[in-house]
Amino acid sequence: MRRLFLLALTAAVLSGCRRQAKPPGPGPAPRPQVGEPVEAAGLHNVYRLTDKLYSGSSPEGDEGFRSLQRLGVRTVLSVDGARPDVDRARRFGLRYVHLPIGYDGLSREQALRLARAVRDLPGPVYVHCHHGQHRGPAAAAVIHRFLDDRCTVEEALAELRRAGTDPRYRGLYAAPAELRPPAAGELDRVPPDFPEVAEVPPLARAMVSIDERWDNLKLARAAGWKAPPAHPDVDPPHEALLLVELYHEAARSPRSGEDGTLRRGLLEAEEGARRLEEILRAGKKGGAVDAAAAESAFQKMGAACSRCHASHRDVPRRLQ
């Protein structure tokens, strides 16, 4: 028996040595303070609202999901229209939930679904839109109000301002201010339907792609209408061409066919994108872009988008 004990003890010691010899992986990140910005690779505009709730941008590649893992996040909740990167999230042991909202604010039904998801799913929960500035912070502020009766309207609105939510999005600011917190038992009656990927209307999908191309063109513009050093794969004239096609397809959607002002705005933006593509291709061929002409076309396209957004995207929804 003594010999068997010594053998078992030796095996345990050797096993422990082998475990110690294994290089440790990255440990958890320091616990961020509530209300303070969080610096994390692959994430932008990140804030911790409560012990269980973060808001920020969409995670960028492995780096972003690794940062979420280090923060202890267990559920990623997207309110953006883009398709979530479910497979990558799973590789990092994270669950994705997709409950998109618009720039016009939140319906009460969707606000209750978001709140129940955060209440019931494993946390911490990371709520994100694309840039982490507008829809994500608004959704997170509503969730905070719905789940914490100590959270005042003033505190919720301060969370939007802290994240840089544009005040032109009146519907996003109206949501935490005007949506009343749930009554007793109201959240329990919300169906626990938390899809990984939600069905998004065609026009909304097109707008997601348009936003992505816009981001790339802004980077190219800042680099003198050349491929940005950090993104050598971005070809400015090709990005402009993709916008031409996206605006054209969006103008053919059923919704734009029913709304003449929306269709005219999309066609005007398409015209600006087509002009910008011509200027950028000529510059690429001749060795120098006419910066003034490119800026004029870029501004024309942007103005068309702003007018269209003011009439359609940014109009606050009617709250219940």
Give the chain's domains with CATH numbers. 37-189 (3.90.190.10), 202-313 (1.20.120)
Q: What phi, psi does 230 have (nearest 5°)?
A: -80, -10
- Reference 317, options 116, 83, 103; nearest CA is 103
Amino acid (one-letter) located at 159: E
Least-confidence region, from 48-57, 142-151, 212-221? 212-221
**Confidence band (pLDDT; 50, 70, 90) for 165?**
very high
For residue 105, list its beta bridge partners: 102
Could you tell me what percent of the chain has a pLDDT over 90? 52
Q: What pLDDT shows up at residue 311? A: 67
- Region 185-211: what's the mean pLDDT? 86
Q: What pLDDT shows up at residue 114? A: 97
Which position has the higher pLDDT, 27 or 259?
259
**Confidence band (pLDDT; 50, 70, 90) for 1?**
very low
Secondary structure of 98-151 as H, E, C letters: ECCCECCECCHHHHHHHHHHHHHCCCCEEEECCCCCCHHHHHHHHHHHHHCCCC
Tell me whether residue 317 is exposed, middle or buried, using C-beta atoms within 10 angstroms of its C-beta: 0 to 12, 13 to 18, 19 or more: middle
> Residue 139: CB partners within 8 Å, gap ≥ 6?
55, 77, 79, 101, 106, 111, 114, 127, 129
Q: State the angle between helix axes of 291-308 and 202-222 in degrees (0 to 180), rounded to the nearest 10.
A: 150
pLDDT digits (tens, 9 = 90+) for 201-249: 777 777 777 888 888 899 999 999 999 998 888 889 888 888 888 788 7
Which position has the higher pLDDT, 264 or 116?
116
